[in-house]
Structure 1
Amino acid sequence: MSQQHTAPGLRAWLGLTVVLGPVLLVSMDGSILFLAMPRISQALLPTADQALWILDGYGFAVGSLLIASGNLGDRYGRLKLLMIGATVFGIGSALAAYAPNAELLIAARALMGVAGATLLPSALAVLSELFADPRRRAQAIGVFAAAFAAGFAIGPVVGGLALERFWWGSVFLVNVPVVALFLLLAPGLLREVRTKRAGRIDALSVVTSALGLLLVIYAVKAAATEGLSGSTMIAGVAGAALLAWFARRQLSLRQPLMDFSLFRDRLFSLAIVTGLLPLAAWSATAYLAGVYLQSVLGLSVLHAALLAIPGAVVLTITCVVTPSVVDRIGKRTALIACHFSIAGGLLFLLPTAITGGIGWYVTATVVTGIGYGISFSVVADTAVGAVPVERAGAAGAIAETSNELGNALGIALLGSLAALVFRLQGPDLAPTLDETLHLRDLAPALATEAKTAFVTGLHVVAAVASALHVVLGVVAVATRRGGGGPGSRPVVAAGRRGGRRRPSGPAAGARRRPAGEPARSRPAERR
């Protein structure tokens, strides 16, 4: 069958440009606080636990609600959800900018996270409507991924530039004009898209998944900052049990929030895990490196921000070129390169010391940027290409959930590991390095001890994250799948109903049942 959708019109490319605005904001807000946290800590004096929630509360809110939001957009309208989410995101940004204390800042960040959860899956799903041809769609998703990656990468740069001239709240106010421009242009360029077979959202699944994640993350952070206690262990066990019950419930629902049948495809599963782990490594090392550059080496906010630019450039370029490279080498080979480049790049953080290490830091960001760029692009295209167009929001939500949960869990788990190392090896005068260095009459020897303990924590986190990526790289090498070669990219043919499209091509026979609609999700055929 010949391709019918080869040249997207001007509306498609303009629509993509408009969609990139919210994408940049949502991803940028996941990292913009890395360099701003020392300034926020001085202004609001948060506790160590509050500081972690200021950082990862946003990512947790986004990650825990993405699945529900993806289904909401598919069933009730993606453009409608985009408009509502952008409006709430702008309001939350304004509230965060003027928060008078840590508690209200955490609440405002959570509100922004709830809004961000509505933006990402719908924005990614819109691309399936704008770009029907799979190769054009892959190119558009590469640009989408580049914007998403660039947002994470330039967040610290934008934050550093704003903090050089304005107060800490300015890092949130930059969102407002972008939101206003999107609300003005989106209705004219984007069409409303929804599935014709809308069903209700399972509220119990939404609540149990969100509560389970909350309890698990709380338990990990509390154990790292305060040590194990009975309440911490109870919270962790309860959270894990809720998540297990959530997964079991999805298998019995006709219209689950998360379609676990997609994970029968091994390459799809590996891609989703790839969406989580690199973001966990990136967010944790970026946060710790921001503290290292400012509090250990004594660099200014702007200087530290500018050092992130080389890695940001490599990351963005890699996202754009990855779809073309994948056409030649296949997704499996791309995932192998992703994990081993990140693993190798993280090792360049190990020579850093309290007396210097800027060159090692920049080298680490450049090398890991290649792997992060591959991750962003391949994960999104694999998820959206695995399902029919009417379910693109739900599938895209799985990909974005892995990214956002990786971001949140990177701070919670790997950040807590660094906090644990600091607590065990530091002078034990305060829970964090910044609090320790701001103690009155602190002896120089104790300051050096605190900095050394912090750098040791950074090294431990880098080594652990590198080892995890080596493991995933080995798994990718061992994964054998017929569609892993250059011809693995699915092509789109006419669907079986109403002209809808679904993946087809060399791997379609092996993938159709697990990666497409499962039998239970076709109520019309059952009747």
Structure 2
Amino acid sequence: MAMDVRPASSPPGPAAPPAPGRRAWLGLLVVLGPVLLVAMDGSVLFLATARITADLSPSADQALWILDGYGFAVGSLLIAFGNIGDRYGRLRLLMIGAALFGAASAGAAFAPSAELLIAFRVLMGVAGATLLPSALAVLSELFTDARQRAQAIGIFAAAFAAGFALGPVVGGQLLAHFWWGSVFLINLPVVALFLLLAPRLLRKVRTGGPGRVDARSVALSAAGILLAVYGIKHTAAEGPAAVPLAAAGAGVVLLRWFVRRQLRLPHPLVDLRLFRDRVFAIAAVTGLLPLAAWSAVAYLGGVYLQSVRGLDAFDAALVTLPGAVVLTVTTVVAPAVVARRGTRAALLASHFLVAGGLLLILPTGVSGGTGWYVASTAVAGVGYGISFSVVAETAVGAVPPERAGAAGAIAETSNELGNALGIALLGSLAALVFRLQGPDLAGTLTETLRVPGITAAAAGDAESAFVTGLHAAALVAALLHAALGAVSLRYLPRAGGRAGPKAGAGAEAGGEAEAVQ
């Protein structure tokens, strides 16, 4: 009997993850609607401030809260709601958040006073905090293949970036035909469509994660972030005072307590071990700083184009369009570039492109400079687009699927806090320069130009002081980006280097960010 001497076949390798079907891609499209809205509502009021000021007569402090109260609410609660969605089901949280977002948008559109508009904006922020982390985590369950998941996250990041970038454009176009409340009413049809389709397409994402949500950690994170940012904002805008300094100090204490508590919990609200990975840590800062620069310059730029250069809202929106298009397109193509060039190169390019773009705004002036403004937004837009894409994929790719909502929440929290802090701190720097160099007739340029009987010389001084403040904010933001680029150049390893933590606790947190090419 002949013996079969053929070599034994190799054991089969692990089965490849199944390709996502039509339901997964349709689910992604449905999720992108609320993502686009939540991002857009962070910037849609940049060109509507003048109209709101004329109709509701808010104080200077109330005007700032109308703009950044939304971002503070989102940033304060993203971490908490990311974990709630992970552990108790994401679809339910998405549905509740979308319904609340729609209701708050309708209330904001018809708010009869500045106080009620602030309240509805904060409520919109609470709802937005329920949507973003769960929406990002949904992608890790709809797309199990790493390459396809990266592509889906890139699309998600593009929608998020497009929302921020297109907010002023959409707002300006609506203001050319309707009253300022229309910028909120456009949310309602998107919310209605999501509530109709999400239960049909996202039924597979009802699973929850392990453990319970620690209520004390939720309270500590929300209260600590809100108090700290409130205190910093008011101190930067109005100088040292007892109440804001006390609030900032209390916020720091609460956040320190929060950090120590996370290190002891078996299922922490924030997995701090992620920050032992250099790539994740630098990417998280990259999520904050570009949004801070973009929001501050976009807001101040809107005032510059309308109140200094004399453009109406529609024309000002057209001026912002090239930068918005560049940012959005960059976010779409960035994942493919990162796959070839590596995360390290992408992060470095992001920091230095933003810094260079911000410096291009310095030649703008009272009598000219609109072209420099467009060039600035276009060059910096490339850096912004890269940063949005890198941060999102790094956050989700570094953790197992059951922690995707929490990791996504860290990335989105850095974005939202950057958006709010940019207006609060860099905007306050510009306001300080205006008060020091302006004619001292009112606290803002818009109010100054409306002072009865103001002379042409005083108006010119006010416009010049505002432009100087814009330059100061852009220069500080550019220097911060250059410094972060230098840090990235120094500490991010090259191809084959280890980006994760040293051996020991948290070594598993490196995930897909383990090697930086």
With normalisation by structure 2, the TM-score equals 0.93
Q: How does 1:17-416 map to 2 (within 5 A)?
A: 17-193=29-205, 197-416=209-428
* Contact 1:3 1:133 (8 Å CA) reproduced: no
- Structure 1 residues 142-190: Cα deviation after superposition (integer angstroms, max 9, x where no partner): 1111110011111111111111111000000000000000111111111
Q: Secondary structure at the match of 2:451?
A: coil
Q: What amino acid is aligned across from residue 31 of structure 2 in structure 1?
A: V
- Structure 1 residues 474-510: Cα deviation after superposition (integer angstroms, max 9, x where no partner): 11111243xx53x89xxxxxxxxxxxxxxxxx98997
Displacement of 1:446 after TM fit? 1.0
Moved more, 316-325 or 171-180: 316-325
Aligned partners of 1:73, 1:2: CA distance in 2, in Å?
30
Displacement of 1:353 after TM fit? 0.5
Aligned partners of 1:465, 1:28: CA distance in 2, in Å?
22
Moved more, 417-426 or 90-99: 417-426
Q: 1:442 and 2:454 equivalent?
A: yes
* Contact 1:78 1:192 (8 Å CA) reproduced: no
Aligned partners of 1:509, 1:65: CA distance in 2, in Å?
28
Q: What amino acid is aligned across from residue 370 of structure 1 in structure 2?
A: V
Aligned partners of 1:160, 1:41: CA distance in 2, in Å?
16
2:463 maps to which of 436, 445, 451: 451
Aligned-residue sequence identity (percent) comes to 68
Displacement of 1:239 after TM fit? 1.9
Q: Structure 2: which 5+ residue stretches go unaligned?
A: 1-12, 511-517
Q: What amino acid is aligned across from residue 239 of structure 2 in structure 1?
A: G
Displacement of 1:292 after TM fit? 0.4
Q: 1:475 and 2:467 equivalent?
A: no
Aligned partners of 1:511, 1:82: CA distance in 2, in Å?
38
130 and 451 in structure 1: CA distance in 2 versus 1, 3 angstrom threshold: same
Displacement of 1:195 after TM fit? 5.5
Q: What amino acid is aligned across from residue 419 of structure 1 in structure 2?
A: A
Aligned partners of 2:416, 2:187: CA distance in 1, in Å?
19
* Contact 2:32 2:156 (8 Å CA) reproduced: yes
Q: Secondary structure at the match of 2:360?
A: helix
Q: Secondary structure at the match of 1:34?
A: coil
- Structure 1 residues 359-414: Cα deviation after superposition (integer angstroms, max 9, x where no partner): 00100110011111111111010000011111111111111001011101111111
Displacement of 1:230 after TM fit? 2.5
Aligned partners of 2:38, 2:72: CA distance in 1, in Å?
13
Aligned partners of 1:22, 1:113: CA distance in 2, in Å?
12
Aligned partners of 1:293, 1:197: CA distance in 2, in Å?
48
317 and 91 in structure 1: CA distance in 2 versus 1, 3 angstrom threshold: same
Q: Structure 1: which 5+ residue stretches go unaligned?
A: 489-505, 519-527
Aligned partners of 1:300, 1:511: CA distance in 2, in Å?
58
Aligned partners of 1:515, 1:295: CA distance in 2, in Å?
53
Q: What amino acid is aligned across from residue 96 of structure 1 in structure 2?
A: A
* Contact 1:386 1:515 (8 Å CA) reproduced: no
Aligned partners of 2:21, 2:107: CA distance in 1, in Å?
39
Displacement of 1:118 after TM fit? 0.5
- Structure 1 residues 233-284: Cα deviation after superposition (integer angstroms, max 9, x where no partner): 2222222222222212211222211111110101110000000000000000
* Contact 1:195 1:390 (8 Å CA) reproduced: no
Aligned partners of 1:421, 1:243: CA distance in 2, in Å?
31
Aligned partners of 1:197, 1:384: CA distance in 2, in Å?
15
Q: Secondary structure at the match of 1:356?
A: coil
Which residue pairs with 2:506 in the alignment? 514
Larger Rg: 1 or 2?
A: 2
Q: What amino acid is aligned across from residue 137 of structure 1 in structure 2?
A: R
With normalisation by structure 1, the TM-score equals 0.91
RMSD, aligned α-carbons? 1.9
Aligned partners of 1:427, 1:219: CA distance in 2, in Å?
28
Q: What amino acid is aligned across from residue 83 of structure 1 in structure 2?
A: M
Displacement of 1:308 after TM fit? 1.3
